Every structure is written in structure tokens, then in C-alpha cells.
A and B are shown apart, each in its own frame.
Chain A
């Protein structure tokens, strides 16, 4: 029944490791996003996909690579993890947030708390 789900909820790992976070939405939306929320609670968009096409790619290190196998899924792979990557990562989805340039409510997932030691 969950609208936007993410796995895992918590991720603790060592510096230099590679990890992935998965996101799925069952709302039938065509646009999905990844946000990073730092320790000061600041929410910043990282990527956006519309119908599996990369639409927004903010200034994010290329160690971060999103992948959208289909409209309902958007995964985030992070290579060579650094201490500064520690944050909560939120996935979100909306309808027609992509090339249509219309704006509708973004539904957020529960977040993945990543801790890099």
C-alpha cells in the first residue's frame, strides 16, 4: 500500500565502499527524484528522471550514478563513499514534473540514512 518506498532504511558503511539505494513508486507517476538532506536538514535535489530519461542533473560528483530501469523505479549507486556523503537520501515522485514543465505534488519516500565511517 506504500506509495513511495526505499531500501534500505539505514546504511552504515566504510569509506571507499560502493553502495546502492533502491526506490520504487506505485503511484503511476512519470517523474522521480533523488534528494539529499544534510545534517542541517537542508534538502537539495540531485537528480530527476522523467519516463526513464535523465532530466535534472545537479552539480553532483560523478561517483553518484542514478539508474531508472522503468518508470516505477529509480536507483542510486554511489562509488568510493566519502565521509561527506553521510546524509539522509530521499526519493520522490510526481506526475508530469518532467518535460511538460507542469508542477504537481512530489511524494517522498521514507528516506535512507547513510552513515559513512
Chain B
């Protein structure tokens, strides 16, 4: 089955800096790659997603890049703000009936 590895497990940045989180996946048939943000004690919420026919997608301060050949994708957050502090999860899907395989999560802390 699919295996998703996510790095780093923790990331600490100063407000205004950029943050990058990377994920690799194992199943070349995967074609959908969402990123979820989970604030403390809250539910995961989708922040951006990308499909395999696209190499890059941007939404304001958030961007995701996908390298299908290398089977890795990354989340980029620019001009970080304290409210960006949360756990971020990458996931991969597309091979089995809506099933998403999640990475281990990255705890992002943005210091004011």
C-alpha cells in the first residue's frame, strides 16, 4: 500500500520567515495530494491540494509543488504569522476509493 513520509517533524521559524515541509510517497499511481492544517484541539482542515496533472499551485501565502518523477511534494508558506502555528499533514490518495494516507505531521511554531 501507499506510504507517506513527512519531514521535518517539528519546525520553528520567526514571524515573517518562510517555512517548507516536504513529503515523499511510494505509490506512483497516487494522483491527489492534499495538505491539512490542524490547530490544537481542533479538526484537520484542508488548506491546499494538488493533483498529479499540475506541478505547482499557489493560494496567497501558501504554495504546493509536486515532482511526480521523484515522488515528492512540498508545502511552502511565505511571510509566516503566529496564527500559522499548527500541525500540518500531507496526504496522498488516488489509488483506492477515496482513501488518503497521511504523513506523520509537522508541528510548525511561528515565533512573534
* Residues in A lying within 8 Å of B, measured CB to CB: 31, 33, 40-45, 48, 50, 55-56, 90, 94, 96-99, 101, 103, 105-106, 108-111
* Residues A99 and B97 in contact, CB atoms below 8 Å apart: yes
Q: With A and B bound together, what is the CA distance between A84 and B19 in angstroms?
A: 34
Interface-facing stretch out of B55-63, B70-78, B100-108: B100-108
Q: With A and B bound together, what is the CA distance between A108 and B38 in angstroms?
A: 11
* Residues A98 and B98 in contact, CB atoms below 8 Å apart: yes
Q: CB within 8 A of A110: which of B43, B46, B51, B98? A: B43
> At the interface, is chain B mostly helix, strand, loop or mixed?
strand
* Residues B49 and A50 in contact, CB atoms below 8 Å apart: no
Q: With A and B bound together, what is the CA distance between A31 and B97 in angstroms?
A: 9
* Residues A105 and B104 in contact, CB atoms below 8 Å apart: no
Q: In the complex, what residues of B have CB within 8 A of residue A45's CB? A: 99-101
Q: With A and B bound together, what is the CA distance between A5 and B93 in angstroms?
A: 24
* Residues B97 and A105 in contact, CB atoms below 8 Å apart: no
* Residues A103 and B32 in contact, CB atoms below 8 Å apart: yes
* Residues A106 and B99 in contact, CB atoms below 8 Å apart: no
Q: CB within 8 A of A43: which of B42, B44, B49, B93? A: B44
Q: A56-B96, A99-B97, A103-B94 are in contact. Are A43 and B45 (CB under 8 A)?
A: no
Q: In the complex, what residues of B have CB within 8 A of residue A55's CB? A: 97-98
Q: With A and B bound together, what is the CA distance between A98 and B76 in angstroms?
A: 30
Q: Which residue of A lies closest to B98 (CB)?
A: A97
Q: A41-B105, A42-B104, A42-B105 are in contact. Are A103 and B44 (CB under 8 A)?
A: no
* Residues B43 and A97 in contact, CB atoms below 8 Å apart: no
Q: With A and B bound together, what is the CA distance between A71 and B42 in angstroms?
A: 25
* Residues A109 and B99 in contact, CB atoms below 8 Å apart: no
* Residues A50 and B44 in contact, CB atoms below 8 Å apart: no
